[in-house]
Amino acid sequence: MNTTTQSSQDAGTRQKRLVIYLNDHLAGSTAGVELARRMAGEHRQSPFGEALENLRKEVSQDRQALVRLLADLDVPVRRYKVYGAWLAEKAGRAKPNGRLVRRSGLSLLIELEAMRLGVQGKAALWRGLLAGSAQDARLDADRLEELLRRADRQIRTLDALHARAADTLLFPTSRPEPTSTAPTGTNAPTGTNAST
């Protein structure tokens, strides 16, 4: 086998690996966008709402950046993986959570943990591509560094949200029962006005 043939085969193998790797991340990103959208919608009126909405926007932008990256690297999108991830995220909503019909508060904790794992994977992707940018001019190192910084910021945000949610849901502050103002000897229920 001559050097040219070997080099061509090596390039083909590298491209196949890139196709698989980036499409796997695109599938994960698709599930992450759906999860972020659902979390932002369900907690819009809660103290977590603003942070989750900002996270939703950024996660969606990151997916768009990944789609552009696939195009820059001549990597075809494997739509079956994307659709499979989308369906898997929907199916994941049926997991047991201690309630038969409604979602429990614990769902937020689990979803924040799942989102953090996804963002960690995304940060690893940006880091790996950044390392390869020295050998491949199609990779914009400045843009990858920006995406990596944003992923690190998202991890810190998710950690802060998780700490707040765990504190609220698992270790709520015990508050003393309100004392009654009803005079001794009356039949008024505790904490109500006897004249009503």
3-state helix, strand, coil in the chain (%, to 5): 70, 0, 30
Phi, psi of 115 (to 5 degrees): -65, -40
C-alpha gyration radius of the chain: 25
* DSSP states along 113-149: HHHHHHHHHHHHHHHHHHHHTTT-TTS-HHHHHHHHH
> Angle at the Cα of 14 (from 21 to 147), degrees rounded to 5?
45
Structure tokens that stand for 15 in this block? 């491209």
pLDDT tens-place values along the chain, 196 residues long: 565 565 566 667 888 999 999 999 999 999 999 999 999 999 999 999 999 999 999 999 999 999 999 999 999 987 645 555 545 555 555 554 444 444 556 889 999 999 999 999 999 999 999 999 999 999 999 999 999 999 999 999 999 999 999 998 888 775 555 554 444 444 444 444 434 3
Cβ 15 vs Cβ 45: under 8 Å: no
Instruction: Supply angle C-alpha 29, 33, 36, rounded to 5.
Output: 130
What domains lie within the chain, and their CATH numbers? 11-93+105-133+140-169 (1.20.1260.10)
**Rounded Cα–Cα distance for residues 134 and 114 (Å):** 32
Between 49-72 and 141-169, two packed helices, what is the crossing angle to 10 degrees?
150
pTM, rounded to two decimals = 0.74
Two tokens at 165? 């949610």
